[in-house]
Amino acid sequence: MASASVLLSADHFLCSICMDVFTDPITTPCGHNYCKACITRYWDTTDVCKCPLCQETFKDRPKVSVNTLFSEMVHQFRSNKWKEEYEAKTVDEIQKIIQDRRVKIQERCQAELIDLIEEKQKTTEKQAEGFMVDLQQEITQLEKRSSELKQISLTEDHLHLLQNFTYIKTPPPTKDWTKVNVHQSSYVGTVRTAVAQLEKTLSEQMKKMVGDAELRRIQQYEVNVTLDPDTAHPYLILSQDGKQVSCGAIKKDLPNNTERCLCVLGKQSVSSGRFYYEVQVGGKTKWDLGVARESINRKGPISLSPNNGYWTIVLRNVNEYQAAAGPAVLLPVREELQKVGVFVDYEEGLVSFYDVESRVHLYSFTGCSFTERLYPYFSPGLNAGGVNSAALIISAVAT
């Protein structure tokens, strides 16, 4: 339930004398509230003892003492106000950091692109210089042959002319320069590819940076989750500290558990506010993870979906990550997930999942309408002959 202070507006916590948040609030016989120091000074300066708001006059000066209940409400209001101001300041600082990082990344990308263009320009110029040398050599050879032909054509020695006929009619070897083209546009394709790659890198870096800031913000709502053995399927093996669950090969004989689905719930629950926990999922071929409402049916076959009271993501077929949204939504996960973060904002109707190692958002169920308690939900999947024997491990947030 929301606290009483949340149901009151800020005006209810301001003294009408000093117009600031109450300090040691007292309540007059007529029911109005003032700071103890404020009303004391007011009565010290007047001949008639009365209420500043309703003007009710008191025959004798009331003996006032701090209203303990209202004082606690004022204290809660101060705490909430400070928290809101702190969170707003933190968000502003994070946005400034992100903007600074964006500028630095853009500058670096521009510098890399300029370096690439300059390097390509140097290569092109060097290639052109080589072509010029070859052309000059061919021009020199052609000019020499032309001079020789001119001399031979002027001779009257026909025998000499015949002896050099083969040499004269054969031109010197030259390259087919019609297929050679040297200009700057020759590296436009390379530049375009480089720009596309830089844009992709920039997008990934920005996505990771924003995800990191978002994850750091919600990790402050971490709850020390432990597994509830009374909700565990007979095949499941729970560690002594209640932090690990795996599927064994032998079914345990537990009371009233013969038909339970292959899952276990956490002992802790959420019915208001925010809730966060992290789970190691690496080394497995199948698992389910998320939250479930208190009234779910955990016996017999189940279908994971919000309509049935489950908000989960799952691993299927070794490397297919899905959000069990009914129908399933395939998640674009490139590499095997190692640790997953689960976040619930009860009032916002939000359940979100994060790749803790890569610091990126995976999926969110939004616009949910929660009406009962939500419990952490774990299913390590069948043992599969030892292939999927690794445990799901609830881990503390790394600081």
- How many Å apart are CA 344 and CA 272, to the nearest integer? 9
Report the SS3 class of residue 2. Answer: coil
- Match 């929301």 to its residue by tokens: 2
Could you tell me if 169 and 311 lie in one domain? no
Could you tell me if 384 and 260 lie in one domain? yes
Could you tell me if 282 and 383 lie in one domain? yes
Of the residues 185, 203, 220, the one at which a domain ends: 220
- Enumerate residues 6+ apart whose C-beta is below 8 A from 165: none
- Written as tens digits, the pLDDT of the chain (399 aa) is 444 444 566 777 888 888 888 889 988 888 888 999 898 888 888 888 889 888 888 888 888 888 888 888 888 887 776 676 666 666 677 777 777 777 777 777 777 777 777 787 777 777 777 767 777 776 777 767 667 666 665 555 655 555 565 555 566 666 665 666 655 544 445 555 655 565 566 566 666 777 788 899 999 999 999 999 999 998 899 999 999 999 987 666 555 544 457 899 999 999 999 999 999 999 999 999 999 999 988 776 788 999 999 999 999 999 999 999 989 999 999 899 999 999 999 999 999 999 999 999 999 999 999 999 999 999 999 988 899 999 999 999 987
Could you tell me if 208 and 228 lie in one domain? no
Could you tell me if 235 and 315 lie in one domain? yes
Please name every residue paired with 246 in a beta bridge, in sequence order, or none if there are none.
Answer: 237
Q: Indicate whether 4 belongs to any domain.
A: no
Q: Indicate whether 304 belongs to any domain.
A: yes
- How many Å apart are CA 121 and CA 114, to the nearest integer? 10
- CA 10 vs. chain centroid, Å, equals 34
Q: Indicate whether 281 belongs to any domain.
A: yes
Of the residues 185, 220, 255, the one at which a domain ends: 220
Q: Indicate whether 96 belongs to any domain.
A: no
Q: What's the whole-model pTM score?
A: 0.55
Domain count, the chain: 3
Q: 51: domain range?
A: 9-66
Could you tell me if 317 and 256 lie in one domain? yes
Could you tell me if 234 and 181 lie in one domain? no
Could you tell me if 298 and 365 lie in one domain? yes
Q: Which amino acid is at 193?
A: T
Q: Indicate whether 260 belongs to any domain.
A: yes
Q: In this structure, what CATH number is given to the domain that contains residue 309?
A: 2.60.120.920
Q: Indicate whether 83 belongs to any domain.
A: no
Q: Indicate whether 3 belongs to any domain.
A: no
Q: Indicate whether 98 belongs to any domain.
A: no
Of the residues 172, 192, 220, the one at which a domain ends: 220
- Match 């149901």 to its residue by tokens: 7
Token output for 280? 């190691």
Could you tell me if 372 and 239 lie in one domain? yes
Could you tell me if 302 and 262 lie in one domain? yes
Could you tell me if 284 and 140 lie in one domain? no
Helix axes 68-153, 188-218, angle to 10 degrees: 170
Q: In this structure, what CATH number is given to the domain that contains residue 61?
A: 3.30.40.10
Could you tell me if 296 and 343 lie in one domain? yes
E-strand ranges in 262-373 read 264-265, 274-280, 287-293, 310-316, 320-323, 329-330, 339-345, 350-355, 360-365
Long-range CB contacts (within 8 A, 24+) of 93-97: 94/213, 94/217, 97/213
